[in-house]
């Protein structure tokens, strides 16, 4: 698949598609040929959607989540609990946590996690705005909800140190055995951690 | 547990073969290139779902063949287990136990445990410190799953710190806070690894000494020394002290990824001062101690595969080794050597029943049960 395609236009489009994550040249060619078979208007709509997305997308002034307006729907919602801020990596985590219907507080989207390999240091993340928000009068608790990978844990630790001077309560979501899971099939590392971080039975919330 | 029977089809230089084994000792003899080690490889496949001597499955296809098949019968306390492995070229290998496939091949490992001792093990002594670390890590992680997890996290944190060092070296700008962050991370993860390695060596040392003493008849003394930059100084302080050097080299120069295991005979490092025969004895003693360690913490008796171990060892050491592995706490034994007379005389000397297979050009001649009743 390294040989050049007979059309430069085709070649250019395939090149662009193959830059997407998880897409190789073969898949890129298949996608491009598919678009070629579609009506002109459909492809125009497709292209415009991408251009509009890139040019008009906004990041919420408060939580840095992706939004169409200056402040996202969650931050604008008067019914949300303004005393709690949950720190997440990106919008996918916001969607996942909203899906639980268990959280009524606000979010702060970091926009990534610390990873020098990928060139991401503290200055690439929305850390300063987080500290500013944490210093706000209404805020009482900050909940860390980052991945349990080594980089995620390192980022949590970094944020914890940054947040300590604010004097606010800093918590982290629990990690352990999945609900409805059998103990014997839980991986030993998770199981071991859940023993170390065991909780008072009377304080276990089951809803 | 023992391996009763194995059948090969298009495996390495075997077009077709069927062998029925003795529950205790089995010997494969024949000239070079006949296929002795290939039989051990097939047994290893049945125990570990993959080869010991080959890196890919396809290497084990007979020349010009498009599939190989190995089938084995193990006799266990529960009855008879049939294990089979089929590889069709270009496809995923199919591994069945009693005609059922595993969800993950890893589940099979440990069911029919096996220990291999072969000439290549020598690199534990002659190779770099990474080989010795892998030897230690391999044993500890079989016993302690959280050890492996911590070690993997450490290695990942190390990659991140090195990437950061490189960035600092290139840009000339250093954010001290970020370096500290990764330092702390390394320190936190290195601690448990260091402690577990130390504890392991302390437990392993007497087992190793005992195995070595047995093989060489107690004439030489051995010592293991775990060397780590963490034992000399506070790791955090050391990282900070070495930061400038690390930035120049763009690499973390201290840490548990630099640990080594020094082995001494009579007070001298084996790597530099020991003879080839001594080195071989040390290698075998390390492997036997590994087996003893794992069986102590509840692994069932493994099969022992000895490939060409008599080479370079004097007769006394050979008989002691055979006496040791023939003992009841070791499982079924498979031995290869070019000389049948040597194999036979060794086992006669230590009075152990054995069965001999003549191997030549991919054919196996099973001499009528050579069970020397004593």
ipTM for the whole complex: 0.75
pLDDT digits (tens, 9 = 90+) for B289-343: 988 888 777 667 788 899 988 887 888 888 888 888 888 778 899 999 998 888 8
Q: Please give the Cα distance from B134 to B127 (Å, whole number).
A: 11
Q: Check CB contact under 8 Å for B146 and A187.
A: no
- Which of B146, B160, B177 comes nearest A115 by C-beta? B160
Q: Please give the Cα distance from B322 to B346 (Å, whole number).
A: 8
Q: Please give the Cα distance from A54 to A33 (Å, whole number).
A: 24
pLDDT at A75: 93
pLDDT at A3: 64
Using an 8 Å CB-CB cutoff, list chain A residues near B163. Answer: 116-117
Using an 8 Å CB-CB cutoff, list chain B residues near A158. Answer: 181
* Average of per-residue pLDDT across B359-372: 72
* Average of per-residue pLDDT across B15-35: 92
Q: Check CB contact under 8 Å for A117 and B157.
A: no
Measured CA to CA in angstroms, residue B211 lies from B42, B124, B214, B239, B253 at distances of 28, 17, 5, 39, 35
- Which of B145, B163, B184 comes nearest A116 by C-beta? B163
Q: Which residues of B333-368 are buried (b: 16+ CB within 10 A; e: fewer)?
A: bbbbbeebeebbebbeebebbbbbbbbeebebeeee
A62 has a chain B CB within 8 A of its CB: no
Nearest Cα of chain A lies from the Cα of B188 at a distance, in angstroms, of: 11
pLDDT at B374: 42
pLDDT digits (tens, 9 = 90+) for B185-243: 999 999 999 999 999 999 999 999 999 998 888 788 899 999 998 888 899 999 999 99
Using an 8 Å CB-CB cutoff, list chain A residues near B183. Answer: none
Query: Which one of B164, B176, B188 makes the best mutation probe of the A interface by having the most chain A beta carbons within 10 Å?
Result: B164
Closest residue of B to A188, CA-based? B145
Q: Check CB contact under 8 Å for B157 and A119.
A: no
pLDDT digits (tens, 9 = 90+) for B127-145: 999 999 999 998 888 778 7
pLDDT at B182: 93
- Which of B145, B156, B184 comes nearest A188 by C-beta? B145
Using an 8 Å CB-CB cutoff, list chain A residues near B184. Answer: 157
Closest residue of B to A151, CA-based? B157
Interfacial A residues in 165-204 facing B (CB < 8 Å): 187-189, 192
pLDDT at A181: 76
Element (H, E) at A43: helix A40-56
Low-confidence stretches of chain A (pLDDT < 50) are none
Q: Check CB contact under 8 Å for B163 and A187.
A: no
Query: Which one of B104, B106, B143, B146 makes the best mutation probe of the A interface by having the most chain A beta carbons within 10 Å?
Result: B146
Own/partner pairs, A108-113, CB within 8 angstroms, 24+ separation:
A108/A63, A108/A64, A108/A133, A109/A60, A109/A63, A109/A64, A109/A65, A110/A64, A110/A146, A110/A155, A111/A64, A113/A89, A113/A146, A113/A147, A113/A149, A113/A151, A113/A152, A113/A154, A113/A155
pLDDT at B321: 85
Q: Check CB contact under 8 Å for B159 and A154.
A: no
Q: Check CB contact under 8 Å for B182 and A158.
A: no
Query: Which one of B155, B181, B246 makes the best mutation probe of the A interface by having the most chain A beta carbons within 10 Å?
Result: B181
Per-residue tokens: A55 = 């040019």
Nearest Cα of chain B lies from the Cα of A193 at a distance, in angstroms, of: 9
Q: Check CB contact under 8 Å for B178 and A187.
A: no
Q: In which band, very low, low, confident or very high, does the pLDDT at B110 lie, cut at 50, 70 and 90?
A: confident
Per-residue pLDDT at B360 exceeds 60? yes
A115 has a chain B CB within 8 A of its CB: yes
Element (H, E) at A95: helix A91-100
Contact B212, B221 (CB under 8 A): no
Element (H, E) at A130: helix A128-134
Q: Any idea how long chain A is? A: 207
Nearest Cα of chain B lies from the Cα of A132 at a distance, in angstroms, of: 19
Q: Check CB contact under 8 Å for B156 and A150.
A: yes
Domains assigned to chain A: 8-56 (1.10.8.420), 59-204 (3.40.1360.10)
pLDDT digits (tens, 9 = 90+) for A170-179: 999 988 888 8
- Which of B145, B160, B177 comes nearest A116 by C-beta? B160
pLDDT at A100: 93
Please tell me whether the overall predicted TM-score, pTM, comes out greater than 0.95 for this model.
Answer: no
Closest residue of A to B161, CA-based? A116
Q: Please give the Cα distance from B190 to B203 (Å, whole number).
A: 20
Per-residue pLDDT at B81 exceeds 70? yes
Q: Please give the Cα distance from A144 to A154 (Å, whole number).
A: 12
Using an 8 Å CB-CB cutoff, list chain B residues near A119. Answer: 167
Q: Check CB contact under 8 Å for B145 and A154.
A: no
Q: Which residues pair with B265 in a beta bridge?
A: B222, B268
pLDDT at A2: 56
């Amino acid at each position: 698949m390294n040989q050049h395609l007979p059309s430069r236009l085709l070649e250019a489009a395939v090149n662009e598609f193959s830059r997407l994550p998880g897409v190789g040249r073969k898949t890129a060619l298949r996608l491009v040929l598919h678009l070629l078979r579609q009506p002109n208007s459909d492809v125009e709509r497709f292209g415009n959607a991408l251009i509009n997305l890139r040019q008009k997308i906004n990041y919420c002034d408060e939580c840095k989540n992706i939004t169409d307006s200056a402040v996202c729907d969650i931050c604008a919602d008067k019914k949300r609990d303004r005393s709690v801020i949950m720190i997440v990596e990106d919008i996918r985590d916001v969607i996942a946590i909203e899906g639980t219907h268990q959280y009524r507080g606000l979010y702060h989207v970091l926009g990534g996690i610390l990873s020098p390999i990928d060139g991401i240091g503290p200055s690439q993340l929305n850390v300063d705005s987080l500290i500013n928000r944490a210093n706000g009068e209404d805020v009482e608790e900050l909940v860390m909800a980052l991945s349990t990978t080594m980089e995620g844990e390192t980022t949590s630790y970094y944020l914890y140190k940054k947040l300590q001077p604010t004097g606010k309560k800093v918590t982290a979501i629990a990690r352990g055995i999945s609900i409805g899971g059998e103990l014997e099939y839980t991986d030993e590392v998770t199981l071991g951690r859940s023993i170390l971080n065991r909780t008072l039975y009377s304080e276990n919330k089951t809803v | 547990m023992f391996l009763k029977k194995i059948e090969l089809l298009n495996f390495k230089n075997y077009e077709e073969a069927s062998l029925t084994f003795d529950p205790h000792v089995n010997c494969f003899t024949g000239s070079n290139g006949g296929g002795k080690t290939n039989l051990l490889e097939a047994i290893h496949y049945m125990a570990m779902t993959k080869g010991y001597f080959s890196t890919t499955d396809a290497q084990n296809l007979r020349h010009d063949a498009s599939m190989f098949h190995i089938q084995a019968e193990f006799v266990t306390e529960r009855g008879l287990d049939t294990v089979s492995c089929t590889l069709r070229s270009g496809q995923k290998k199919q591994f069945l136990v009693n005609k059922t496939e595993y969800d993950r091949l890893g589940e099979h490992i440990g069911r029919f445990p096996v220990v291999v001792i072969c000439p290549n093990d020598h690199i534990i002594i002659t190779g770099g410190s990474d080989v010795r670390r892998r030897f230690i890590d391999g044993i500890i992680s079989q016993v302690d799953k959280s050890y492996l997890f911590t070690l993997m996290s450490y290695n990942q944190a190390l990659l991140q710190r090195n990437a950061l060092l490189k960035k600092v070296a290139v840009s000339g700008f250093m954010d001290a806070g970020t370096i500290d962050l990764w330092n702390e991370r390394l320190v936190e993860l290195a601690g448990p690894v260091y402690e577990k390695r130390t504890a392991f060596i302390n437990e392993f040392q007497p087992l190793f000494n005992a195995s070595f003493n047995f093989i060489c008849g107690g004439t030489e003394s051995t010592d293991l020394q775990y060397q780590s930059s963490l034992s000399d100084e506070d790791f955090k302080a050391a990282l900070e002290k070495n930061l400038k050097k690390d930035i120049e080299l763009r690499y973390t120069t201290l840490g548990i990824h630099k640990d080594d295991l020094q082995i001494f005979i009579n007070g001298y490092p084996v790597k530099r001062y020991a003879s080839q025969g001594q080195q071989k004895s040390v290698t075998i003693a390390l492997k036997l101690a590994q087996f003893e360690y794992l069986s102590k913490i509840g692994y069932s008796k493994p099969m022992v595969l000895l490939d060409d171990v008599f080479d370079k060892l004097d007769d006394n050491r050979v008989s002691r080794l055979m006496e040791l592995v023939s003992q009841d706490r070791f499982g079924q034994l498979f031995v290869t050597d070019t000389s049948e007379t040597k194999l036979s005389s060794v086992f006669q000397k230590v009075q152990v029943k054995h069965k001999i297979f003549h191997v030549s050009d991919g054919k196996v001649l099973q001499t009528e049960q050579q069970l020397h009743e004593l």
